[in-house]
């Protein structure tokens, strides 16, 4: 993701409800995003934006442990989305990007589609439903620069909408500190045979590459946690290494407790299990930070 900078994003609630049809625009950008649930897709199809070329992301729930997405492009977004209503079962929401000045053509949206799939697969945070990554179409140097600029602005908007699939956990965990987001403290977990290093990030907790999870699972492990452990193995995030399961990359979890649970193979209180190099628990560190603000 590009370097963080102050910016303004406008979200228009087209039907007056926060969970309904939303139109997202950003200052000094010619793009526009239409966000709508599958159940309300008819409202979006009636709008002019989806009669244009664009790129879209279908997202679905974390039924098997991790959220899923599918990236696509179309000359006429609305027609393609109608096909997905009938043909794809997993998705519950779509985010469709178009241009406010009709500045996106077929080559542009194919380029954006390819780059988004590439970024999602490289980050390996969400399950990507696209089987293959389409090749990048030939663009002039100037057109490619414009497309990359458009992509950068999209990557700012996705996290605002709760989609963190395109940024690697490593990028978050090792990001440069800012006055509002100080450098994260390294935290460690040594429980039930698991040994790990991690960091708090704005939207969860990152377990660092090289950390080792316990192979065995407790009898009381939650089904969703068991499914997530298996999915991480299927995707190569966790691999068998001696008597444990080793993380092959940094991976972001929704909470420190989920991260701890995956590591130990059962329920765990992450605010207590994770400690800094001086033995202070994450709970104590959080309370100290809150007290410093007060």
Residue ranges per structural domain of the chain: 9-167, 172-293
Cβ–Cβ under 8 Å, residues 198 and 205: yes
Task: Give the span between the Cα atoms of 275 and 294, in whole angstroms.
Answer: 23
Residue 203: is its pLDDT beyond 70?
yes
Residues 248-256: what's their mean pLDDT?
92
Select from 71, 263, 229, 259 the least CA-distant residue to 169. Answer: 259
Between 179 and 31, residue with greater pLDDT: 31
pLDDT at residue number 86 = 87
**Angle formed by the axes of helices 223-234 and 256-264, nearest 10°:** 70
pTM metric for this prediction = 0.77
Task: Give the span between the Cα atoms of 192 and 67, in whole angstroms.
Answer: 28
pLDDT at residue number 223 = 87
Handedness of CA 202, 170, 197, 292 (dihedral sign): negative
Residues 185-190: what's their mean pLDDT?
94
pLDDT at residue number 102 = 82
pLDDT at residue number 256 = 93
Reported as type and span, the H/E element at residue 226 is helix 223-234
Contacts 24+ apart (CB under 8 A), 147-151: 147/108, 147/111, 147/112, 147/115, 148/115, 150/29, 150/30, 150/31, 150/104, 150/108, 150/112, 151/112, 151/115, 151/116
Residue labelled with tokens 């241009």 = 99
Task: Give the span between the Cα atoms of 207 and 87, in whole angstroms.
Answer: 36
Q: Which residues pair with 10 in a beta bridge?
A: 25
Residue 1: is its pLDDT beyond 60?
no
In this structure, the dihedral spanned by the alpha carbons of residues 36, 40, 46 and 49, taken in order and rounded to 10 degrees, is 0
């Amino acid at each position: 993701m590009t370097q963080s900078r102050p910016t303004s994003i406008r979200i228009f609630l087209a039907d007056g409800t926060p969970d309904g049809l939303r139109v997202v625009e950003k200052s000094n950008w010619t793009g526009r995003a239409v966000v709508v649930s599958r159940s309300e897709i008819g409202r979006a199809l009636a709008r002019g934006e989806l009669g244009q070329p664009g790129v879209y992301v279908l997202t679905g729930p974390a039924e098997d442990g991790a959220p899923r997405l599918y990236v696509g492009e179309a000359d006429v977004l609305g027609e393609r989305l109608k096909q997905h209503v009938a043909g794809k079962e997993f998705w519950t929401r779509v985010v469709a990007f178009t241009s406010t000045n009709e500045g996106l053509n077929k080559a542009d949206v194919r380029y954006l589609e390819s780059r988004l799939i590439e970024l999602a697969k490289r980050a390996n945070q969400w399950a990507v439903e696209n089987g293959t990554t389409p090749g990048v179409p030939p663009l002039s140097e100037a057109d490619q620069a414009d497309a990359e600029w458009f992509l950068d602005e999209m990557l700012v908007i996705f996290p605002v909408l709760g989609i963190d699939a395109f940024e690697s956990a490593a990028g978050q965990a090792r990001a440069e500190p800012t006055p509002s987001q100080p450098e994260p403290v390294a935290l460690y977990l040594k429980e039930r045979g698991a040994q790990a290093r991690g960091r708090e990030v704005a939207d969860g907790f990152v377990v660092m590459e090289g950390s080792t999870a316990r192979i065995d699972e407790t009898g009381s492990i939650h089904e969703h946690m068991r499914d997530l452990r298996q999915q991480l193995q299927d995707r190569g995030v966790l691999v068998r290494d001696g008597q444990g399961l080793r993380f092959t990359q940094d991976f972001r979890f929704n909470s420190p407790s989920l991260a701890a649970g995956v590591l130990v193979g059962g329920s765990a209180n992450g605010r207590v299990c994770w400690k800094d190099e001086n033995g202070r628990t994450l709970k104590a560190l959080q309370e100290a930070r809150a007290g410093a603000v007060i």
